[in-house]
Amino acid sequence: MELPLELVNALRLAQRVTVLTGAGVSQESGLRTFRDAQDGLWAQYRPEDLATPQAFQRNPKLVWDWYAWRREKVCQAKPNPAHYALAAMAKRIPKFTLITQNVDGLHQAAGSPRVIELHGNIRRVRCSVCAQVLSQWDQPPDDVPRCPSCNGLLRPDVVWFGETLPQAELEAAFEAAQHCELFFSIGTSGVVQPAASLAYFAQQHGARIVEINAEPTPLTPFADFALQGKAGEILPALVKSAFLAQIT
Ligand code: OAD
């Protein structure tokens, strides 16, 4: 793919860059995006019907088992060249902020130093009663694990539909969107708020918008540069062109 020279130059000279990623960035690591059809056992459920507080109240075991299955896939997945390219960008741009809607932790696994996780992380759990966060827990053979402090049911430490996003992360994300020269929206369908509004907010504050996505999204007509294709191919090429760095 021919990369716009204007974008390559803008990236090379940029002092402040903010990036928002979505499930498309992990697609080349073998993880399904949210709006892909789900496979196997879970094909009969829609994520929107499992990822809610109401679903957990109704049937905690069903929701726990779905997340346990997804956690297993996440733990087997490896970062792909898109994750590595973003980690490389972080080293070369003075003020670089990476915001993700993904809960898989693959940006950190690729070496990205600081990641704003808007929707939490599936590798952690927290108590549904006292909110204690844990990264290790005892799994009973056929039940939902319980909190060691208060015996409440443990749940994944992720944001469910209808829940508010963590305040500090949200504020940091809008702050970084407000003060950047280039804002990248990568592998996200841009339909879930408030993450979807970050790009428009950045644009209103003077940033140029770069979208990298396999297909057009509602953001595409507003983007200054819309690159259609795979993030794992476009991002390494862009980093190589801008910084003469090879991404493996
Ligand atoms: P989606 O599944 O909605 O969108 C993934 C996007 O990635 C789509 O626009 C695809 O075209 C694009 N895509 C797929 N493969 C790609 C690739 N290899 N390279 C580039 N783009 C690719 O995922 P998100 O936008 O992340 O929220 O979804 C946002 C939120 O909605 C999720 O965090 C989750 C979900 O419901 C919560 O759970 C709160």
The pLDDT averaged over each successive group of 10 residues in the chain (248 residues) is 94 98 96 69 79 95 94 96 98 97 97 96 97 95 95 97 95 98 97 95 98 98 98 97 82
Residue type at 216 in one-letter notation = P
The pLDDT, as a whole number, for residue 186 is 98
CB 88 within 8 A of CB 247: yes
Residue nearest to ligand 1 atom 8, measured at CA: 189
**Ligand 1 neighbourhood includes 121 CB (under 6 angstroms):** no
Secondary structure (H, E, C), the chain: CCCCHHHHHHHHHCCEEEEEECCHHHHCCCCCCCCCCCCHHHCCCCHHHHCCHHHHHHCHHHHHHHHHHHHHHHHHCCCCHHHHHHHHHHHHCCEEEEEECCCCCHHHHCCCCCEEECCEEEEEEEECCCCCEECCCCCCCCCCCECCCCCCEEEEEECCCCCCCCHHHHHHHHHHHHCCCEEEEECCCCCCCCHHHHHHHHHHCCCEEEEEECCCCCCHHHCCEEEECCHHHHHHHHHHHHHCCCCC
Please list the active-site residues: 119
The pLDDT, as a whole number, for residue 116 is 98
Ligand 1 atom with the smallest distance to the CA of 101 is: 33
Where are the CATH 3.30.1600.10 domain residues in the chain? Answer: 40-76+128-158
Ligand 1 atom with the smallest distance to the CA of 21 is: 26
The pLDDT, as a whole number, for residue 248 is 65
Residue with tokens 């507003």: 222
**Ligand 1 neighbourhood includes 231 CB (under 6 angstroms):** yes
**Ligand 1 neighbourhood includes 213 CB (under 6 angstroms):** yes
What span, in angstroms and rounded, lies between the C-alpha atoms of 152 and 55?
A: 17
Where are the CATH 3.40.50.1220 domain residues in the chain? Answer: 5-31+79-119+165-243
Residue nearest to ligand 1 atom 26, measured at CA: 22
**Ligand 1 neighbourhood includes 81 CB (under 6 angstroms):** no
The pLDDT, as a whole number, for residue 42 is 76
Query: From the CA of 27, how far away is ligand 1's center (Å)?
Result: 9
The pLDDT, as a whole number, for residue 40 is 64
**Ligand 1 neighbourhood includes 20 CB (under 6 angstroms):** no
Fold of 5-31+79-119+165-243: Rossmann fold (3.40.50)
Query: From the CA of 143, how far away is ligand 1's center (Å)?
Result: 31
The second-level CATH assignment, the architecture, of 40-76+128-158 is 2-Layer Sandwich (3.30)
Residue with tokens 């990568």: 186
216 Cβ partners below 8 Å, 6+ apart? 226, 228
Q: Buried (b) or exposed (e) across 134-153, using 16+ Cβ within 10 A?
A: eeeeeeeeeebbbbeeeeeb
Residue nearest to ligand 1 atom 25, measured at CA: 188
Residue nearest to ligand 1 atom 3, measured at CA: 189
